Structure 1
Amino acid sequence: MFEKKDYDKEILNINKRSKKHTCLYSDCLGKTIYSHAISKSISIEKISENGHVKKFSPIRHGDEKIPKISDVGINEATAFNGFCHLHDGFFNDIDEREINNLRDLFLQIYRSISCVYYYEQIGDVLYPDIDIDEAVKIIVNNQITKDEIDLTQDKLYKVKGFLSDEMARANNIKNSELNKRKEEINRVRNYFLNNIHELDECKYTNRKLNEKGTELQTIKFNDFDYALFYYITDFQVPVAINTMHNLNYDGRNFLFFYIVIPYEASNIIIGVMENNLPPEYYDKIITLIDDAFKNRLSVLNFIETLVISSPDETYFKPCIINNMRKEKLDFILNDFMFLHEFLSFDKYFLEYDVSIFDELRTSIISEGINVFNESELDKIHTLPMRESIDVRKNKMMSKIMRENITIKSLKNDL
């Protein structure tokens, strides 16, 4: 019923190193090189062991996806075919030293969201057009068999014509939704590029960022409907994240972008989100973010919550995975498989109930600087109850059927 695609091959072609893509920098027609969204030398290498990091990479077995963690070389981690050699040099400052001023911050946001924009191509593979002729044939033959009726040639011609029109309309709606999301991502990334140009033209001051371990900083813009926040830790969480969350509310999509960059002894955490969140969730989300940066443990909890809601775009220091007991690793991998349980407005940013960075958590608690709830230690040793895998799968499939843009467009039309 859908156009035939070799999904694995097409996604591999998007993911692999290739010179056939065009540079994402405005008006550049140069061919891309394979480069990193997050600096290899001062970030990815800092959490690597023997030239590798760990990443969630489920494998297919027939129609089933099997959860798995794989090794990824530091030359591939966060890499994409985004910019030509000339414009990749645009990012030298944040490749060679830690982000410490406004221009660096905007540069990293532009680079990270460009990576997200590049990988939006995968949506075209995952949501192929309906093969109209094949779909009409299946529906008509099924209906004739079901109703045991004979259609005259004239009626059959009209039915096929109606179905063809509706299928074409469904394809158009689906493609319009995908393009709308890509256009929005492109608009956001180019806003930060324009701000970089304005800083370079001295239209406003390129001020220094806050010191490590001080306070959460929020930046709003008079001419833009997104805001950003950043926080620089004074300790290292051995993980890198470059992700976008797409949450649906009442038929409208809201985009959230997050970046967690590790350095030698710190991380910078960056978020970009819309100002106009649904009213009933705005205060809750803003409060949860504010509370996430009160102390070291709350920062760790926030990063673990980001990890569980961004498994495909998270890179771990190998010892974090290698030292985890099998029962816990299997539990977390299963949670990775059911991403829908963590990505909805009702559950957004609710603290993850399992410890991922056990050694760091123990170290922070043992410092005794703040008084912590006993449950913070329990997260290390105790696994909470979850519904059965079958129940979780059924709920996931139900959500996919409700929110798949091709299926939704068909329901609206037929």
Structure 2
Amino acid sequence: MTKKNKKVDPGIEFDNSVDKEIFKLRNKQSKCMHAGCNAFAISSHSISRAISLGEIAKDGILLTPKSERKYPDKKYFIGDIGYKDASTFMGFCEDHDKKLFHELDRHSIQTYMDIVTQLYRSISYNYSIDSVYLIAQIRVLERLMETHENVVMNAMHKNHSMLSRLENLQTRLSDLMQKDKVKQEVQDPFSVNRIQASNIGIYYKKLNFQVPIAINTKYMYRLSNEEFELFVINIPYKDCTDFLVMFDLEYSKYFHSFLEYIFSSDINILNYIERVIVSSENWWLKPEILEHHSDLKKRIIQEDLYFLIGNEKYYDISIFDELRLSLISDDPKFDQEREKLTLLPEREPFEKRKKEIQQKMAATTLRLFED
């Protein structure tokens, strides 16, 4: 029998270090994330339920990516979720949830404080969600410990490093929220705002129309032995939208030209949002958007979600048809945008695509764990 570790909580002792690690993560999840608060967390929203999610819901329902595990396959599909459950996480106690995010639940972004507070809210969501994934992964990796100890320990180290980066960003954003200068109003929210503070890079723009999808997601990037993230947040309101992107300023050279292109026009932002839909899982969409598409178009979009098509800046199918029409003109430079409204691209058969991506993912995962 494995030697027991020392008690880490009165009345609790563990047979192995994995159980101890999971207990620490779960205990942290159950407490309020606000520094110095030990009250129990409630189910918080990372996107305002009152003035955002409720505005795009139909009869209280939104659409979101879901997965269904059926051995040996995993099926992705777009399903219903109640807007009261969308974007939720165990993050803050009831008192701090109200105090910290009161203004964000009353109006769209107006001040730099609103920007920082929303980013703090979004990072907290990502930390909570990733902690849940990590707990599940630890259990899977535990089974490989005896035969592949080095691989398992390396994988756990990478996951903990990611959580540490998120926690560090949380702290920096929390510190920024204490500074008076962030209380100033954003002078021109409908222009591109480039913000640098506490070694954090932020791009922000308010759109004067509703993009009917809420997004709170992050993309992982890897360069040599370094890992870093790009965070994307889209918040729709009744008649406008707040679009934000955040990254660690240390990696700005990798994102600068890319983000300059994305934020250079409203149609580029819309194109990127459509790309996010088929390359991430944390979004909540107005149901009517897909209801108006043909069955074939919906099937292609749903299959593309399964393959999580990269995080480039462009998607070859129009998802927001009416909105796209309102943003383009008869200028020839928009020919490609008009084609997306009527033409559907050809895809390889689903099973062939699935086999190819499974082989690619297996090779990538093994390489990442062994590096």
- Report what 1:365 is aligned to: 328
TM-score (norm 1): 0.77
- Report what 1:270 is aligned to: 244
Deviation at 1:321, TM superposition (A): 1.4
2:267 to 292, 297, 312: 297
What is the alpha-carbon distance in structure 1 between the residues aligned to residue 111 and residue 301 of structure 2? Answer: 36
- Report what 1:320 is aligned to: 289
2:279 to 289, 293, 309: 309
Any conservation in 2 of the 1:102–1:208 contact (CA below 8 Å)? yes
What is the alpha-carbon distance in structure 2 between the residues aligned to residue 220 and residue 274 of structure 1? Answer: 10
- Report what 2:71 is aligned to: 62
AA paired with 2:109?
Answer: I
AA paired with 1:33?
Answer: I
Count of matched residue positions in the alignment of Structure 1 and Structure 2: 344
AA paired with 1:99?
Answer: I
Greater shift after overlay, 62-71 or 182-191? 62-71
Runs of 4+ aligned residues of structure 1 deviating over 6 Å after TM superposition are: none
Q: Does residue 79 of structure 2 align to residue 111 of structure 1?
A: no
Any conservation in 2 of the 1:218–1:230 contact (CA below 8 Å)? yes
1:95 to 93, 105, 108: 105
What is the alpha-carbon distance in structure 2 between the residues aligned to residue 26 and residue 264 of structure 1? Answer: 33
- 1:211-360 maps to which residues of 2 (within 5 A)? 211-212=188-189, 214-221=190-197, 223-224=198-199, 226-277=200-251, 282=254, 285-310=255-280, 312-339=281-308, 341-343=309-311, 348-349=312-313, 351-360=314-323
Deviation at 1:63, TM superposition (A): 1.9
What is the alpha-carbon distance in structure 2 between the residues aligned to residue 101 and residue 63 of structure 1? Answer: 49
What is the alpha-carbon distance in structure 1 between the residues aligned to residue 223 and residue 71 of structure 2? Answer: 33
Any conservation in 1 of the 2:111–2:182 contact (CA below 8 Å)? no
Change (3 A) 1:372 1:236: farther
What is the alpha-carbon distance in structure 1 between the residues aligned to residue 277 and residue 97 of structure 2? Answer: 27
Deviation at 1:249, TM superposition (A): 2.2
Aligned-residue sequence identity (percent) comes to 26
Greater shift after overlay, 120-129 or 262-271? 120-129
Q: State the structure with more CA Rg.
A: 1
AA paired with 1:237?
Answer: V
Deviations 1:65-86 (A, max 9, x none): 2232211111101011111111
Deviations 1:346-380 (A, max 9, x none): xx32x1111010121123335x6x66421101111
What runs of 5+ residues in structure 2 fail to find an aligned partner? 1-21
Change (3 A) 1:129 1:58: closer
- C-alpha RMSD of the superposition: 2.5
- Report what 1:181 is aligned to: 162
Any conservation in 2 of the 1:19–1:31 contact (CA below 8 Å)? no
Any conservation in 2 of the 1:210–1:217 contact (CA below 8 Å)? no
Change (3 A) 1:132 1:38: closer
- Report what 1:163 is aligned to: none
- Report what 2:354 is aligned to: 393
AA paired with 1:113?
Answer: I
AA paired with 1:376?
Answer: E
- Report what 2:14 is aligned to: none
Greater shift after overlay, 300-309 or 181-190? 300-309
